[in-house]
Structure 1
Amino acid sequence: MLGKTELETKVIDSLNYLKTHNDYTSIILEVESIQNILFKMGYIENKLKGINKNNDSVFTAKFHLKKKYNNIYIYYNSSVIDASVLKMVSDKVFDDYFVLPLNAIENSLVFINQKASEQGNPFSKLKLANIRTDKTNLKADLMIDSKEQKRTIDHIVIKGYVKFPKSYLKHYLKIKPGQTFNLNRIKQKTDMLNDLKFANQIKAPEVLFSKDSTTLYIYAEKTKSNAFDGFLGFGTNENNNKLEFDGYLNLQLTNNLNFGESFSLLYKSDENDQKTFRTDLSLPYLLKSPIGVDLSLQIFKKDSTFTTVNQSAKLHYQINPKHKVFVGVRATTSNNLLSANNFQNITDYDSNFYTLAYRFLKRQNTNLLFPIKTDLYIETGFGHREATNTKQKQSQYTIDAFSIFNLNGKNSFYFRVNGSNLKSDTFFENELFRFGGINSIRGFEENSLLASLFGVLNTEYRYQLNNAIFIHSITDLAYFENKLTNNKEKLLGYGFGFGILTKAGLFKFNYANGKTENETFKFSNSKIHLSLIADF
């Protein structure tokens, strides 16, 4: 390849073009490619003077590059194109024109046209007209041909899952008739269907354009969203060395009425003769509004000592699929079942709290074993407790969060932080937090630890043998304070476990041993937990 001058030849040589070809057709294609590159570099007037045959195997292409243009000044109509869009492609934007380097023209015009399409003009055409030269720069007028009026979404049709709750279209996906048509944004929103527990997106949305309307088709399917979770735990009683059992049943029903509602029922019984019954109901988007309600009832009984009943009601607002905020009230009533003379620290009381809460949830739907990557819940409550003609101001803070850090497809670390703090001048035993066990610090009996303040750190190193089997370590740390007994203690739980995804559900086995800070290891303190989580 040669230029008209030595300087032009150096410019052509800098392109690192292919010099060896199998046939003449390949040479022609390479020459055309070089010309296109020269056009983008600013040599818009370059010409091919000819291809000369030196001998049977050598050809020489001669170019005349002529003048190089550096920039193009593009004049635009500010009523058609917003300057904020132009500032995304150029750092020199003025009231009626903007400046681009010649090598950025193609990508910049594609971007500007895309933004015009997002404003409801999917059939808009963009071009440069009246191109003219000015010394080392070009000038042109930006023309947008949009014969049709701006498009809006007129109709929305759900294919596949016909009874998909319509309130989720408006408030969760934030897609509704009358919105300006923007296909890219619609695709981003419908992808959020995969973050729902009860539905999935089958394929990308499609659009039907007619002369006077725009119909959006969304393809979704209903998925298994009900779950049954149960576990059986057993260990040796430290006092009588007898084998004792504990366990729980947790039933979760989601979207069975095609409303997006969820209902859960929990029953737990442990070796300390403690029984817990809890039921929760969540109703999203009441009366087609963005507000939902959460109702909860929990009854706890400690053998024949006392019972505690918690009732709560919250209003929630789903900011987007990952963020949700709550505001509500919680009422608690506890009754001493024995004489107050026998148990001075257990007293009848009533408490009322106003609560604020926030939740962040992020899924990783491609992982069948661990579909949730991050879950954060923070709650604070302010209120008072009444007992024996006394009134005590109290506040309560709770955090429950976990996250999975994926090193690669097989290796990951799991971290969970769980803790609560009750601030009060006085305390009763029957209002303290109870923790310990498979859903808290492993290696200890269920709900065997009492605290006015506690924090638990659960860690696991997980290794996935395949998509259905994983093994993991257990290392749990805890710290708690019991201001009623002026007790402070550090705890350690350690062990191992594995999980197998079967046709019946996810079967999990955990072996853990728990000890206090100054306690020596005892094999008799070991706990084994078997659990099964089944979706249906």
Structure 2
Amino acid sequence: MKKVSFLLLIIYILFSSELFCQNLHLKIDGNTEHETSTIDSLSYTKTHKDYSSIKHEIDSTQKRLFKIGYIENELKNITKINDSSFKTQIHLKKKFNTIYIYYNETEIERSLLEPISKNIFDDYFELEFSKIESTLNFINSKISDEGFPFSKLYLSNIKVKDTSDLSAELIIKSETKKRIISNIIIKGYEKFPRSYLKHFLKIKPSQVFDLTKIKNKTNQLNNLRFANEIKSPEVLFSKDSTTLYLYLEKAKSNSFDGFLGFGTNEETNQLEFDGYLNLNLTNNLNFGESFKLLYKSDENDQKTFQADLTLPYLLKSPIGIDLGLRIFKKDSSFTTINQALKLHYQINSKHKIYTGLLSTESNNLLTENTSLAISDYKTQYYSFAYEFIKPQPYNLLFSINSKLYLETNFGERKALNTQEKQSHFSIDAFKIFNLNRKNSVFLRLNGASLNSNTYFENELLRFGGINSIRGFEENSLFSSLFGLINTEYRYQLNNSIYIHSIIDAAYFENKIIDTKEKLFGYGFGFGILTQAGLFRFNYANGKSENQKFKLSNSKIHISLIANF
């Protein structure tokens, strides 16, 4: 007997919860089949845990019917059919399709109504009944954006106009004065350069308060390397003032970049090394300034030294200055010194324009000038440039989605008591096409052209290497015109590791030796984001159009970009 009682107790414990927590079913009918079909189209929830949930669902269904025009719908009694089923009836009655909303033209501009209504008149506009709520929210947000964040609006004096239409008056209540930003307080990074608020973010005191625009503008902080927004802006309203709080933090913006490359010399069949060091210092003085230092030495006995200084927003103006110095030495053949002075104007967070002067001086180092193509010369250029940068800060590996830099230079060259007009054009652009979270395609276009009646070897354009067409030695190609395309198919294994293909193509001309040639580079690589920085490995093989593939022409490039 005890065993039977114990067994019954177990069965009771296992199944009692289901017995006492059985689902309840709800059925809502209309007064006619058509009304029932309309109610069913709302896809209301039919299964519930308790009676309170059923009552809430019926109330919700009535409100949804009201929003689509059945404002006179009537609920009948809720009937219990059995222990698990309930039934009710809603009489929909007449549906109203259109509402005529009368407004005061001194309170609301007609242009604000044009996106929401096709029929607008001097004192009223027509609107589909189902769009009332979204329309009122839209109008209220626009009024708030104009400096009235505490505005309220509602429909009053609602009347039946005819069998399917209503009329109503739009009432707007707002402050008499627009809210103006009276003060901006920065929390977290108090030394953030204030000029960036005014000229980069376009936020300043005495501006009409518009919280939506402010949030959109502060999102542009992601375009800056040296600052991040740690939370959304906040506002303190008082009777006579509006104080805006921005929450920022200083980010690591300095970087150190270097690579080691090695390959086989075709003449000596010996292993040769090349490499470079690249240092970028940004905003260390809390001014937004940047300083870049580059030193490069490669296997062709070429040495490059480059220093660039950018000072933005001089004297709190929207104008900045760029200074540049570049020294290039080709073994014992010649040296070339380039100096640049440019002024830039930041149009907004993505667009920037430049204008300035470029000067070049090159000296022949050969004691016995066996090459008539190398000569002393000086050039003076007037420069104009445009830059576009679009970031993607959510991606730790590839923080910039697209970039475009265009530069034109016009001037003259002086050499051997002769003067000659010259022009120089260059483009550097890339774009990442994100196919999904892990797959993307990288496409880069780079090219330059030097236009002159005569050419010297020591003024030709130089390209080739890890930052140009891969599979070739650094700066080993001389040209008067070149264009190249870098492509990569990238696959991200996770947020810190990716692998990619390398397919490069280039075309160049050298008018001194009357050469036109096509080049190709093939290979693969990978990148790993470590605590020390981004480590990159590239293996590429380069060949000309009519040259056979040789494994000995392959180049391996290793680089590490460290942020600090």
Give the TM-score band, short-chain normalised. Answer: over 0.9
Assess if the C-alpha contact under 8 Å between 1:413 and 1:462 holds in 2: yes
Within the alignment, does 1:71 sit opposite 2:98 as a pair? yes
The aligned residue for residue 397 of structure 1 is 425
Q: One-letter code of the match for 1:492?
A: F
Deviation at 1:224, TM superposition (A): 0.6
Deviation at 1:60, TM superposition (A): 4.7
Within the alignment, does 1:83 sit opposite 2:110 as a pair? yes
Q: State the secondary structure of the residue aligned to 1:85.
A: helix
CA distance in 1, matches of 2:468, 2:526: 18
- For 1:278-293, list aligned pairs within 5 A: 278-293=306-321
Pick closer, same or farther for the CA change 1:125–1:390 going to 2, 3 Å: same
Deviation at 1:72, TM superposition (A): 0.9
Assess if the C-alpha contact under 8 Å between 2:203 and 2:214 holds in 1: yes
Assess if the C-alpha contact under 8 Å between 1:412 and 1:463 holds in 2: yes
CA distance in 2, matches of 1:7, 1:373: 54
2:174 to 146, 149, 162: 146
1:121 to 129, 144, 148: 148
Pick closer, same or farther for the CA change 1:58–1:214 going to 2, 3 Å: same
Pick closer, same or farther for the CA change 1:20–1:160 going to 2, 3 Å: closer
2:323 to 269, 288, 295: 295
Assess if the C-alpha contact under 8 Å between 2:279 and 2:292 holds in 1: yes
Deviation at 1:48, TM superposition (A): 2.5
Within the alignment, does 1:534 sit opposite 2:557 as a pair? no
- Under a length normalisation based on structure 2, what TM-score does the superposition of the two structures give? 0.91
Deviation at 1:52, TM superposition (A): 4.8
CA distance in 2, matches of 1:7, 1:231: 75
1:46 to 54, 73, 84: 73
The aligned residue for residue 134 of structure 1 is 161
The aligned residue for residue 240 of structure 1 is 268
Assess if the C-alpha contact under 8 Å between 1:227 and 1:533 holds in 2: yes
Q: One-letter code of the match for 1:219?
A: Y
Within the alignment, does 1:349 sit opposite 2:367 as a pair? no
Pick closer, same or farther for the CA change 1:293–1:27 going to 2, 3 Å: same
Deviation at 1:493, TM superposition (A): 1.6
Pick closer, same or farther for the CA change 1:26–1:356 going to 2, 3 Å: same
Within the alignment, does 1:103 sit opposite 2:110 as a pair? no
CA distance in 2, matches of 1:134, 1:45: 15
Within the alignment, does 1:453 sit opposite 2:503 as a pair? no
Q: One-letter code of the match for 1:241?
A: N
Within the alignment, does 1:420 sit opposite 2:420 as a pair? no
Long gaps (5+) in structure 2: 1-27
Assess if the C-alpha contact under 8 Å between 1:495 and 1:510 holds in 2: yes
Q: Deviations over 1:203-248 (max 9, x none)?
A: 1111111121111100010011111111121222222222222111
The aligned residue for residue 491 of structure 1 is 519
Deviation at 1:411, TM superposition (A): 2.1
Assess if the C-alpha contact under 8 Å between 2:480 and 2:511 holds in 1: yes
CA distance in 2, matches of 1:290, 1:188: 21
CA distance in 2, matches of 1:33, 1:188: 35
Pick closer, same or farther for the CA change 1:281–1:67 going to 2, 3 Å: same
CA distance in 1, matches of 2:502, 2:154: 63
Assess if the C-alpha contact under 8 Å between 2:148 and 2:175 holds in 1: no
RMSD between aligned alpha carbons? 1.9
- Under a length normalisation based on structure 1, what TM-score does the superposition of the two structures give? 0.95
Assess if the C-alpha contact under 8 Å between 1:50 and 1:63 holds in 2: no
The aligned residue for residue 312 of structure 1 is 340
Q: Deviations over 1:92-139 (max 9, x none)?
A: 222211111111101110111111111111111111111122113111
Q: Deviations over 1:357-404 (max 9, x none)?
A: 111111111222221121211111111111112221111110111222
CA distance in 1, matches of 2:537, 2:70: 71
Long gaps (5+) in structure 1: none
Deviation at 1:66, TM superposition (A): 3.5
Assess if the C-alpha contact under 8 Å between 1:340 and 1:347 holds in 2: no
How many aligned residue pairs are there?
Answer: 536
Q: State the secondary structure of the residue aligned to 2:443.
A: strand
Deviation at 1:89, TM superposition (A): 1.6
Q: State the secondary structure of the residue aligned to 1:31.
A: helix
Q: Deviations over 1:327-366 (max 9, x none)?
A: 1221111111225742211111111111211111111112
Q: State the secondary structure of the residue aligned to 1:343.
A: coil
Pick closer, same or farther for the CA change 1:235–1:22 going to 2, 3 Å: closer
Within the alignment, does 1:162 sit opposite 2:194 as a pair? no
The aligned residue for residue 358 of structure 1 is 386
Within the alignment, does 1:439 sit opposite 2:467 as a pair? yes
Q: Deviations over 1:455-490 (max 9, x none)?
A: 111122222222222222222211110001001111
Q: Deviations over 1:402-433 (max 9, x none)?
A: 22222222222222111111111111111100
Q: Deviations over 1:166-221 (max 9, x none)?
A: 00000000000011111111111111111100010001111111121111100010
Q: Deviations over 1:267-300 (max 9, x none)?
A: 1111111111111011111111111111111111
Pick closer, same or farther for the CA change 1:67–1:524 going to 2, 3 Å: closer
Deviation at 1:265, TM superposition (A): 0.7
The aligned residue for residue 369 of structure 1 is 397
CA distance in 1, matches of 2:140, 2:466: 56
Pick closer, same or farther for the CA change 1:448–1:102 going to 2, 3 Å: same
CA distance in 1, matches of 2:155, 2:64: 19
Pick closer, same or farther for the CA change 1:131–1:519 going to 2, 3 Å: same
CA distance in 2, matches of 1:92, 1:449: 67
Q: State the secondary structure of the residue aligned to 2:71.
A: coil
Q: Which range is displaced more, 137-146 or 522-531?
A: 522-531
The aligned residue for residue 522 of structure 1 is 550
Q: State the secondary structure of the residue aligned to 2:347.
A: strand
